[in-house]
Each structure stands twice: as C-alpha cells, then as structure tokens.
Chain A
Amino acid sequence: MSTVDLVIKGGQLSDGRKVDLCISGEKIVDVTEKFVGQATSTVDAQGCIILPGLVDLHTHLREPGREDAETVLSGSRAGAKGGFTALSAMANTSPVADTAGVVEQVYRLGQEAGLLDVFPIGAVTQGLKGQTLSEIGAMADSVAQVRVFSDDGNCVSDPLVMRRALEYIKKFGGVIAQHAQDPRMTVGSQMNEGAVSSRLGLKGWPAVAEEAIIARDVLLADHVQSRLHICHLTTAGGVEIIRWAKARGINVTAEVTPHHLLLTDDLASSYDPIYKVNPPLRTQRDVHALREALADGTIDIVATDHAPHPLEDKECEWQEAAFGMLGLETALSIVQKTMIDTSLMNWDQVAERMSHAPARIGGYIQQGQKIAVGSNANLTVINPTQSWRVDRDLVLSNSSNTPYHGHELPGVVLHTFYKGKQTLNNGAMTDKEKM
C-alpha cells in the first residue's frame, strides 16, 4: 500500500467523474475511483467540484507604489481565497513595470508571499505613455520571464506603436494585451453612453471607442502575423469583431470580466462610484452577448481586472472617483451564477476559461495543467450547492471596493492547493500565522 501526502476524497472533476485525488510533494500522484492507501492528511470533497487552479490574466496588485490599496501579499491572499493559483500583475504600478528591475521585484514579492504564482505583466511603452517601447526584451529575458505586455489602464492608441509592439514580441512568442479605448473619443468619459448616461448627465463612453480599437488591432495582428489579446471585452459589437477575426484565422484571444457578465449601466443611477469601472458597465444586451460569446468560445477566458482602491477614492462624487472594482474573491461565484446556474456552460468549460486557456495565453506552463497523474497539484475545490453573502469588511484584499457587498452568491471556494500546498482550508487561509 502506497502512502501519499494528501488525499482529496469524493470530489467531482469538471468532466463529471467522481474521484479520490492524491497529492505527494508538488504533484498529483493518483486519480482513482477509490483510494485505499495511506494518506498523511485527508480533505473531504463530497459534493464539491475540483477544478484546476484558477489563473487570472488581469490583476492589479498595486505594489510597488500604492500599497495602501493592495500589496502582492494581500492580493495573493485574496487570490487564494478566490481559488486562484496564479495571478498576472498589471504594469500600471508606480514606478511602472517597464523595466526588468520592476518586474523582477514584483516576481520576487510573489515568490516571497508564496501563496500562488505571480507573473508580472510588462508595460508596452515607457511609463504607459504610448510613445516609446519599454525594454520589452530585457523584461522577457529577466528572472520574471515576462511574456504578456500591456499598457492596461491606457490604450496603446498610436497605430504605429501598436504595430511595432506586435512585431517585436514575435521574437520570443509574447502577446500584447490591449486595453481597447480610443482616448480621443473618451476624454472625461464616466459611463456607458446611452439612455442611462443621457438621463444622469454623466459623460458618455461610446461602445465604438472600444470596438474601433479592437477592429484596428485584429487587422494589425493579421498583417504582422502576431499574437493579440483583447482585455476586458464589454460590447456586443466587440464580440462580433472578435468572432469575425477568429473565423478569418487571426491569432487573437479575448477576455471578459465577471462584473461585465453580471452588472449593467443602470447601476450608475445611484451615483455610487462603487459601480464606476473602466471599461464601463454596459447594457443588458451587451451582457447577453458576452455570456453567449464566453459559452461558444469567442471569448477565451474570464479575467478579473481586480482593481483595488482605498476608501477615499470611492467615497466621493462619481466623476472624482477612481475606476475599478475588486474581483478575485468573487470571480468563480459570479461565473457560476452567470454561466453555470443559467446552463450556458458546464464545469469543463469553466476549467478551460479560468485555468487552461489563461495559462496557455500567458505561456504559464506550470499552471493550467489537466488534472492527471504527474501534473502540478494546483487545484481549486468549490462547493456549488452552498452560497455565501459578500461582506466588504471581510475581504482579504487591502481595499473593500467590491460591488457585491450584501449580495448572496452561489458557490463557495473551500480549498485551494498551490504546488501541493494547501493555501485555503475550508474557506480559511492557512497562512494566518504569517499575518
């Protein structure tokens, strides 16, 4: 009889198989109908779904520079709580992650936190200014081995700069993650332009400002035969363009955030900036289109765009407030609510959209592996029949700007395993002693 470090008993894989899953060291060592050997510890997963550890391709960890909003450690804890085993730290920190030094610092902080993999994203242009390419090669060759480059928060709006960036990253198989927002069409914009903005007197953010950039960039990616990823798609029109581009064989992938799968622009009627986000919440019609596109694979992944902000940046007038909302701790529940409980997707598709595909796009070969013997033991265990009430005072993030405060959400993430180590046990962090 073999002895393993840990057995997860009676859980259901995303394909429906009910298994006992054994872990030794950092690896999955057995996936069997009934484990009969010895295990040092046992986790009961009856009634739960076991997913490959979730991978977020779009996270704002705010360190360095805005540690009052989030740190790599606090963001890692929020990630583990939400079932993530890998995050991608966006480059819009202070200083900007546009040099090898900064990405290596963020990478090292992630290692020190040790709760999940933190993969830094490098800025496309120096200072996110859209004018001069940052040291893309140096970041790619650094310890952090950056493969994803983005000016997120800003759009790489100059078509020539975008073309050069797309070409340059072919050298090492990188990808440009574009924040699609035409800056001229969105000067001072506050929310989706439509019936609600007309009534509220808030400056409109037209869908076309997003769609025009997506259309331009898929054509550029086609022309230079490079790889493009569209961040946080929000419009029905954007979905159509991506669908067209994929049909044409263009190497483009796209993400949608959990909040754009659920929330709509009428929430701005409260003028509560908790609902102020970039890109803005759109209409019900857009929400339907995004859900369908995620289900049929036009949209490849769910990414959180987790954007922590301190209280004072949200406790003010709408137009003065910061853009962004928390996402890590609620992402899987929102996906269950909008995609599983509506029968639009099954758990296999959730595993694909939230683990396998984002790892593939980011080039994270240690992440998003199939649940099989020999794979890294990065796992998330969710009980889909339980529900929970979101409380902004209980989030692990340093910030509390969740739009779901008071919402009852389906699906409780009970356990997270990162490289064989349990980071979340029965909903509680295992690293309490460190705090």
Chain B
Amino acid sequence: MRHLLSIADVSKAEAISILDTANELARVSEGAVKKLPTLRGRTIVNLFAEDSTRTRISFEAAAKRLSADVINFSAKGSSVSKGESLKDTAMTLQAMGADAVVIRHSASGAAQRLADSQWMSGSVINAGDGTHEHPSQALLDAFTIRKHLSLGKSDLEGISVAIVGDVLHSRVARSNVLLLSKLGAKVTLVAPPTLLPVGVETWPCTVSYDLDAVVPFVDVVMMLRVQQERMTDFYFPNAREYSRYFGLNTDRMKVMKSGSIVMHPGPMNRGLEISAEVADSARSVITEQVTNGVSVRMAILYVLLTGGALEAGMN
C-alpha cells in the first residue's frame, strides 16, 4: 500500500494487517514512554482544508509517537476560486519534502486527486474527503468492534452492525459499510429515506427506515452526527421528529442485546441523535474509539511509510 484513499482499495488481508499492527502499537501507547523511533527523520504534513480538531490531533499524536516530524497546514477553503489551488498547495508540500500528506478536504475525491496527480510524490492518507470516505475512521471503528465482540477472531464474521442517521452526507458511513462488510459483518443502514442516497441498493448492506425494528437485534449501534444545515433542506420536518424516530435514547438502549455496544464518530449532538444518558452509559465505547484512533492511525502511517506490517511480538 502506498496511499490510503478509499476502503474500496484495501483488501481484507491488508485491513486485518493494519488492525493487527494497531494492536501491537497500542501497547506502546500504554507504556510510560509513548514513543517509537520508527519514523524518525520522516516528515508528515497534516493538510487540513476543512475544520477538524479530533482527526487532526489524532493523526498528529500518531505521527509523533512514531517520531515523525509533523507539520500542520491549515488551508481552509483551498480552491481555485477562494485562493491557492490544491495543485499549488501540493507542489509546495512536495518542495518541502513531505513523505506523507494526511489530507482533510471538503471536496469528495480531493485525496485521490492529490495521489493521482504528478503534483507530489509522497503517500496520501485520506482523513475525510467531502461526503466520500473517511477510511481511518472506519479502521478505528473496526478495531474497536473487533476488540469488544470478535472473541479473538481476526475478522468480524457474524457480527451485526446498525449505522444510524445521515448516511447520505456521511463519509464515515461509506467507509464503514465497505470495511465492515469486507470483514464479514452484517451491516444495516437505518435512516429516513431522505438521508439515504439514490443508489444505496447497490451497497453491500441492508437498509431499514425503522430503528426500533433493528436495535434489539444488532451487536453494534453506530450513530452518525446530524448536521445543523440538514434541518433547513427538507430532509426531515424538525429536530424533535428526527430525534423521536432516529435518536438513540434510554428506551431504545434498554432493548439492545446483552454485550452490544454504542458507537459515535463524534462530535456528538447530545439530545439529537444520541441522548446524554446513552452517550455516557456502560454500553458506550465512544471515548475508547478516540483512544483506538491514535493506535490505528499509527498503524496506517507505519504500514504506508515502512512498507510492512508489525508482527505480534516484534516489540
């Protein structure tokens, strides 16, 4: 693997190898000295052309724990019309000798454009592109699910996952549907019909409009953030009605299977798609997702920049 642009490009074996590497690297994060010398002298640029605090600091922590030099480049709204073009930004980074670029961008496909162009030669890691994909989030979600529910198996065979909310605009949903189904999980999308894309019937998952019919039967309920601007574009009548039909509250949590978990990629709208009680409950693994995010992103950087996985026991 040279780039991480879309889960579609990642094989099941490669995904498992990243999760296994993350497992090994997690032990580093648990130690007193949270640092490995692996990427010493390598430069990683965080190119964030869209606001994101958690993903940026997660990648930054991951790179620093591998001893890489990290440059944070915030270029909000990088486009031809609004200022410097993506091409000029890329050529600037190339001139600075970036070994890898972690890119967050509001345009779907921006990471692939960067990787396919001749503008720069380093690895490109998609940290979320528009409404397309967010592959590192899916990998950290798979890592978290595997840790809780796989009973020691390397894949997610037999595990059922509901992804609930604004699928239409969610890069997290797109990456997770691809990755979780690839790893053997059974994925069900739950959303109002307005927030499911035309064409969703071609995705490797099933679809439901009824959260109550799904919640009691799945091992994982993954809630998606509902953005404020969706309220004004006729996707649903109002926030209360959305919450009533598609919010995860204590009543719904009560009927969840024993041992099942609640996930959310953050940032949460408490009281809208998830109630505070659920977010802070024992089923919630939401803060653990953040912790795992660092290990998984370390693994991604490790695999892309050293060209190999970390075998168990190598450290």
Q: Are A271 and B202 in contact (CB under 8 A)?
A: no
Q: A198-B197, A198-B203, A319-B108 are in contact. List 10 more A-B contacts (CB 8 A).
A: A199-B202, A202-B108, A204-B198, A271-B110, A315-B85, A315-B117, A317-B109, A319-B107, A320-B80, A320-B81
CA separation between A195 and B202, bound complex, in Å?
A: 6
Contacts of A312 in B (CB 8 A): 80, 85
Distance (Å) between the CB of B91 and the closest chain A CB? 11
Complex contact A316–B198 (CB within 8 A): no
Chain A neighbourhood of B8, CB < 8 A: 199
Q: Does A329 contact B (CB under 8 A)?
A: no
Query: Among the interface residues A190, A271, A313, which one has the most CB atoms of the partner chain B within 10 A?
Result: A271
- At the interface, yes or no: A249 with Cβ under 8 Å from chain B? no
Evaluate whether A318 and B198 lie within 8 angstroms (CB atoms) in the complex, with A199-B174, A201-B133 already known: no
Find out whether the CB atom of A200 lies under 8 angstroms from the CB atom of B80. no
Tell me if B171 counts as interface (CB < 8 A to partner A): yes
Known pairs A194-B199, A197-B199, A198-B200; A316 contacts B86 (CB<8 A): yes
Q: Is the CB of B79 within 8 A of A316?
A: yes
Shortest Cβ distance from residue A240 to the other chain B in the assembled complex, whole angstroms: 20
Q: Is the CB of A204 within 8 A of B197?
A: yes
Q: Are B108 and A318 in contact (CB under 8 A)?
A: yes
A206 interface hit (Cβ, 8 Å): yes
| B87 on interface, CB distance cutoff 8 Å | yes
B154 within 8 A of A: no
Interface presence of B130 (CB below 8 A) = yes
In whole angstroms, how far apart are the Cα atoms of A201 and B113 in the complex? 14
A319–B78 CA distance with the chains assembled, in angstroms: 12
User: Can you list 5 A-B pairs, Cβ within 8 angstroms, ordered by A?
Assistant: A194-B199, A198-B203, A199-B202, A317-B105, A320-B79
Complex partner residue of B197 from A197, A272, A315, A316, CB under 8 angstroms: A197
Given A200-B108, A312-B85: A317 in contact with B79 (beta carbons within 8 A):
yes
Chain A residues with CB under 8 A of B117: 315
B146 within 8 A of A: no
B208 at interface by CB-CB < 8 Å? no
How distant is the Cα of A163 from the Cα of B162 in the complex, in angstroms? 50
B132 close to A (CB within 8 Å): yes
A195 contacts across to B, CB distance below 8 A: 199, 202
A41 an interface residue at 8 Å Cβ cutoff?
Answer: no
B131 within 8 A of A: yes
**Across the interface, do A318 and B113 meet the contact criterion of CB distance under 8 Å?**
yes
Instruction: Assess the A201–B132 pair: CB atoms within 8 A.
Output: yes
The answer on a CB contact under 8 Å between B113 and A194 is no
Within 172-207 of A, Cβ neighbours of B (below 8 Å) are at: 190, 193-204, 206
Q: Work out how many contacts link A and B, with CB atoms closer than 8 A.
A: 84
- Would you call A194 and B198 a contact (CB within 8 A)? yes
A317 touches B174 (CB 8 A): no
Q: CB of A385 within 8 A of chain B? A: no
| Residue with the greatest number of chain B CB neighbours at <10 A, chosen from A201, A204, A271 | A201
A2-29 CB contacts (< 8 Å) to partner B: none
Known: A271-B113, A318-B108. A313 touches B200 (CB 8 A): no
A343 within 8 A of B: no
Chain B interfacial positions (CB closer than 8 Å to A): 8, 79-81, 85-87, 105, 107-110, 112-113, 116-117, 129-133, 171, 174, 197-200, 202-203
A393, chain B: closest CB distance, angstroms: 15
Residues of B within 8 A of A320 (CB): 79-81, 107
Task: Assess A318 versus B109: contact at CB under 8 Å? Given A201-B130, A272-B116.
Answer: yes
| List of B residues within 8 angstroms of A193 by Cβ | 198-199
Closest to A204 in B: B198
A319 pairs with B130, CB closer than 8 A: yes
Which residue from B107, B133, B199 sits with its C-beta under 8 Å from A318? B107
A residues near B131, Cβ cutoff 8 Å: 201-203
Residue pair A317, B110 in contact (C-beta under 8 Å)? yes
Query: Does A270 count as interface, using CB distance less than 8 angstroms?
Result: yes
The CA of A203 and the CA of B132, in the complex, are separated in Å by: 10
Interface members, chain A 193-232 (any B CB < 8 Å): 193-204, 206
Residues of B with C-beta under 8 A to A319: 107-108, 130
Residues of A within 8 A of B108 (CB): 190, 200-202, 271, 318-319
Q: What sequence of 0s and 1s flags, for each residue 257-282 of chain A, a beta carbon within 8 Å of any chain B beta carbon?
A: 00000000000001110000000000
A197 — which chain B residues lie within 8 A by C-beta?
Answer: 197-199
CB distance from B117 to the nearest CB of A (A): 8
List of A residues within 8 angstroms of B129 by Cβ:
201
List residues of chain B with CB within 8 A of the CB of A316: 79-80, 85-87, 113
Task: Tell which of A198, A201, A313, A315 touches B198, judged by Cβ atoms closer than 8 Å.
Answer: A198
Known contacts A318-B108, A320-B107; decide if A198 and B81 are in contact (CB<8 Å): no
Contact, CB under 8 Å: A315 / B87:
yes
Determine whether the beta carbon of A200 is less than 8 Å from that of B132.
yes
Q: Given the complex of chains A and B, what is the CA–CA distance between A319 and B131 in angstroms?
A: 12
Contacts of B202 in A (CB 8 A): 195, 198-199
Option from B86, B116, B171, B199 in Cβ contact (under 8 Å) with A317? B86
- State A320–B130 Cα separation when bound (angstroms): 12
A290–B282 Cα gap in the complex (Å)? 58
Nearest 10 CB-CB pairs, A to B?
A: A271-B109, A198-B199, A201-B132, A317-B107, A198-B197, A201-B131, A195-B199, A195-B202, A201-B108, A320-B79
Query: Roughly how many angstroms separate A206 CA and B197 CA in the complex, as a whole number?
Result: 11
